[in-house]
Amino acid sequence: MRNSALGYINGFAVTPPGRYYDKGYRELFAEVALKALEAAGNPDIKAIYVASALSELTGEQLAIGNVLRDYAGLRNIPSIRIENGDGSGGFAIMTALNHLASAGNGCMLVVGVDKPHEVISLKQNKYASYLLDSDYEAYFGATPVALAAIMAKQYMKSYEYKYEDLATWAIKMHERGARNPYAYFKRVAKLKDVLDSELVADPLRLYDVSPFVDGAAALVLCSKPNPNDLAIGVINYGFGASNSYFASRNDYTVLSSVVEAAKAVGPLENFNGVVSVHDTYSIFGVLALEALGLCKRGSALRLLNEGYFDQGGRVMVNLDGGLKAVGNSMGASGVYQMVGVVMQLRGDKPFNGLNAESAMVEDMVGVDQESVVFTLRVVK
Amino acid sequence: MRNSALGYINGFAVTPPGRYYDKGYRELFAEVALKALEAAGNPDIKAIYVASALSELTGEQLAIGNVLRDYAGLRNIPSIRIENGDGSGGFAIMTALNHLASAGNGCMLVVGVDKPHEVISLKQNKYASYLLDSDYEAYFGATPVALAAIMAKQYMKSYEYKYEDLATWAIKMHERGARNPYAYFKRVAKLKDVLDSELVADPLRLYDVSPFVDGAAALVLCSKPNPNDLAIGVINYGFGASNSYFASRNDYTVLSSVVEAAKAVGPLENFNGVVSVHDTYSIFGVLALEALGLCKRGSALRLLNEGYFDQGGRVMVNLDGGLKAVGNSMGASGVYQMVGVVMQLRGDKPFNGLNAESAMVEDMVGVDQESVVFTLRVVK
């Protein structure tokens, strides 16, 4: 074990993901920022990193950090906004860790916040298509889910899976969401529900798509652990990229950016603990497991169906229900993921008795454009 | 002198600021990124930091870095987009320096790129108002220039200046722009031109407002200097914030966020060399000089009029013509500023024979919301 972490998570908070017609960006931010700071013992904060993908599109706000901190009474603390699409959260955490390393000491506040439901669903989907290449992909009608569908089709064909195999992802995520007080979907889904649901982009059905949610999640990252709490350290991170332009890729059955990020973070074949993958669409969750090196290519869906990634196993995946059940809060999703694994490492409700000591988080931008992977550990 | 810099500027490039109806974000990006990399000897790049304020508003593109790098052939290099309004450039440089410190070695590419002229001026001004608090300021019709006007009025009243004193800023910037091949405005302006120009927000006239321009600027930041070139190091940075909400501020004659950033970077009273201030509006240029501690409060406009900040003095301000003459490329402006002082330190045309050894750059978000200040030095 490395005897020091890149940073410790000394406080955290999330809002239940939902549709907040009665709260704006600033109310959601204040709620989680102040709770996370209190949990961390209200340390001095050097900077606030705000992860948001949609603040100017749905909130008409640029440089949103300064408005948010001001509303929360966190005046005079400079803010930096990171916009890396639905991977903003992960990259904001990475950027804050770099700042901590550069400063040598202190604490940073990282908050992911987004409000897709400020606009109607037609616009939500339009804005989501901005994640693709606007001139060469989105302009011609491509959407992230359509490209994910091509990947799913190719994967199922290459490795001889039926759609029923893929449906297991949604079923398991709903089952876990039903136990998680912070999930958006809290209803168990049966195979029939999945099979009967609307076809969104063949072969992906409604249940394969994470729902857009409004929400905010916060972390206080410090160079030293909170003396009054369990020490959870971010041990390492790695990031990677693939070719952005979808048509130029050679292989649609692999998430290359995740492969690169996993390589950079170190060998992960022997990893054991809890893992959070960015399952914007069910196929991305499956492919992430292979890209992380947690199983052989083509085997993830079989292993998932066999229960290999369930609670009690060596590698436990998305015990909080993933984006599928927790919801896709766009720029905030990576911070929600991080909070999810922190709660699992702590054994907070509903993860009591889990006794995991290591965790991994994979966050991805759009359709395999960039990814960042973190490893975490309970530091004793 | 510190014997090591936070990072060295091993390559740089800018596009002449203008109205590029024939080039998109990606063409502008590729032009400067490839030139800057070539100048730096084409080193391996760990990450690309893209500063852009308007990419989703005028370019319908989220997570724009991956599309840009892909187009430029810089595949597989992860990108992170920083959006801190018109201060995006400065904060992207700071974030890249932190990454360099965290990595311990290597190089980062920082590119600022924005295209306000993808949309008509009515929308440009609407989007610029997103820099203010959208719910409590912009919604009620406030614009950045209107708030700058209040600050100008208060400053002129407090320290007994006439508008003719303030007009000197525009006159000097136009004079310098006329010599700078990379300026947008290359025409000398006389006092009469300024006085006869349209009143934008009393007392600020058209000549007090930096023009929106499309443009891109790039820097290659490395942990070691380029062995084949003059070593220019970023020695230190500081950042700061003020209260975001304009109506809650006690004093409209000071840029508090710049004061904080300057304090963090160290005592600057004895600084000598070239300085670049973020003169979105002429009054911000004047107030920045005081906030940086380069002269006493209330004295900057008098000293400016006396020629104190001209070429040949101890503190030489905006020798490239500032945002007033170079143009306001929003998210790219801070990177343009940095390139400007690097050219001055190198004595590149039109700065031959300047022999400055130190430089300072001040970049600000909106109306005194957050600021970052860098010091640079020729390292021998």
Residue A3, pLDDT > 60, answer: no
CB B150 within 8 A of CB B259: no
- Judge whether B49 is closer than 8 Å to chain A, CB to CB: no
pLDDT at B2 over 80: no
Q: Would the pLDDT of B33 be above 60?
A: yes
Structure tokens at B188: 């000398």
Q: Tokens 């960015």 — which residue?
A: A278
Q: What is the reported pLDDT for A1?
A: 37
Residue in B80, B87, B134 closest to A60 by CB: B134
Selected residue of A52, A57, A84 to mutate for chain B interface (largest B Cβ count, 10 A): A84
- What average pLDDT does range A51-57 have in this prediction? 98
Beta bridge partners of A214: A18
Contacts of B139 (CB under 8 A, 6+ apart): none
Percent of chain B with pLDDT over 70: 99
Residues A226-259 pLDDT 10s? 998 999 999 999 999 999 999 999 999 999 999 9
Which positions ≥6 away from A335 have C-beta within 8 Å? A14, A51, A89, A92, A93, A110, A111, A112, A217, A218, A219
Q: Is A85:A370 a contact under the CB 8 Å cutoff?
A: no
User: CB-based contact (8 Å) between A65 and chain B?
Assistant: yes
Residue B266 pLDDT grade (very low, low, confident, very high; cuts 50, 70, 90): confident
Q: What domains can you pick out in chain B, each with its CATH number?
A: 7-120+212-222 (3.40.47.10), 126-210+232-378 (3.40.47.10)
Question: Does the beta-carbon distance from A76 to B241 stay under 8 Å?
Answer: yes
Contact between chains at B133 and A99 (C-beta distance less than 8 A)? no
How do residues B268-291 score in pLDDT, each as one tens digit? 989 999 999 999 999 999 999 999
State the DSSP string of B162-174.
Answer: -HHHHHHHHHHHH
Banded model confidence at residue B4, pLDDT cuts 50, 70, 90: confident
Read off the pLDDT band of B326 (50, 70, 90): very high
CA of A132, closest CA in chain B: separation in Å?
Answer: 8
Q: What is the mean pLDDT of residues B278-307?
A: 98
Number of residues assigned to chain B:
380
Mean pLDDT taken over chain B: 97
Q: In this predicted structure, what is the pLDDT of residue A111?
A: 98
Q: Which residues of A touch B127 (CB under 8 A)?
A: 56, 62
pLDDT at A4 over 90: no
Predicted local confidence at residue A2, as pLDDT:
43
* Position B240 pLDDT exceeds 80: yes
Q: State the smallest CA–CA distance between residue A90 and chain B in angstroms.
A: 11
Cβ A240–B69 below 8 Å, yes or no?
A: no
